[in-house]
Amino acid sequence: MIADRIISKMGEGTFGQVLECFDNEKKEVVAIKIVRSIHKYREAAMIEIDVLQKLARHDVGGTRCVQIRNWFDYRNHICIVFEKLGPSLYDFLRKNSYRSFPIDLVRELGRQLLESVAFMHDLRLIHTDLKPENILLVSSDYVKVPDYKFLSRTIKDGSYFKNLPKSSAIKLIDFGSTTFEHQDHNYVVSTRHYRAPEVILGLGWNYPCDLWSVGCILIELCSGEALFQTHENLEHLAMMERVLGPLPQHMVLRADRRAEKYFRRGARLDWPEGATSRESMRAVWKLPRLQNLVMQHVDHSAGDLIDLLQGLLRYDPAERLKAREALRHPFFTRDVRRCGYPL
């Protein structure tokens, strides 16, 4: 039995599709992920089920990661039954014309995200695909508030208002790429915009690759758009250097054979000489330094946020903040009185 009643299609991806269904037995609405009957997707689905069951055993309150209700094999399609949650942070931003979230909401989302990552890392699990699409609001409820950046426009213009979630409660989803600490860590992981430098340079990766992704996500929530919008390694590294300064020599010198071509003699990035187009050069040059980027979008707490991001976006994974270290950062502890965003 696939479901008692299909309500709607919630989304689809390379893996298959997700349906909103009504479970007659439990009398609740659930989400069912139906995986394509292709070996690699079935394999990823079985990994996801294994991870979800491990997470559920340790996450007693079920507050950090999406809860698995059941799973079954239907005509060679693995079907995973989940609790029904709200929209992803990406979908919320998209439907809101990519308008940024207020800093107090970013703080609350960031705190929960880091708590979920710390929880996974304590269990020796690395998510490897953290991005706004894989962070879901628990509730779909939202409120309309004036958007002060658009106060000069008329009230009739919809851009005068923006939507904000009523509750900041979030959960992580999509554990199909999650790996255990002891597994091979030499292949490419993460969605491009959130991929850490050690992955691009072929240096191997571990827990810190998740923290790099968290840094990229926090900037996106503050600014409304992804920081490194690229699909090519050299351009990606050039964007990193533009925002964060030069890559450390010791990492460049250890880069694997495939990544060597991105550098000139003397271990300097082959940029702009190696750029494929003027558009690519412009995409890099228009990016501001990290401090300026944050100051453009954040008023209070900007200094603390910049310092936190510098810790999360350290090139050397050995020097990058760990999840529990990040949670002790003044960005989360100093402004406790401001953290009035409802969970």
Q: Are 93 and 105 in contact (CB under 8 A)?
A: no
Q: Of how many residues is the chain composed? A: 343
What are the tokens at 57?
A: 């055993």
294 to 45, 98, 112, 187: CA distances (angstroms):
38, 16, 21, 32
Q: Write the single-letter amino acid at 16.
A: G
Q: Are 224 and 108 in contact (CB under 8 A)?
A: no
Q: Which residue carries 């510098």 as its tokens?
A: 310
Query: Going by C-beta distance under 8 Å and a sequence separation of 6 or more, which residues neighbour residue 117?
Result: 127, 130, 210, 211, 214, 323
Beta bridge partners of 125: 180
What are the tokens at 160?
A: 């005068």
Distance CA 103, CA 143 (A): 17
Residue 35 in 3-state DSSP?
Answer: strand
The stretches of 123-224 forming alpha helices (DSSP H) are: 197-200, 208-223
Query: Going by C-beta distance under 8 Å and a sequence separation of 6 or more, which residues neighbour residue 7?
Result: 19, 20, 21, 22, 29
Catalytic residue among 59, 129, 210, 304: 129
Distance CA 311, CA 322 (A): 9
What are the tokens at 265?
A: 């003699």
**Is 129 one of the catalytic residues?**
yes
Q: Looking at the annotation, which residues are catalytic?
A: 129
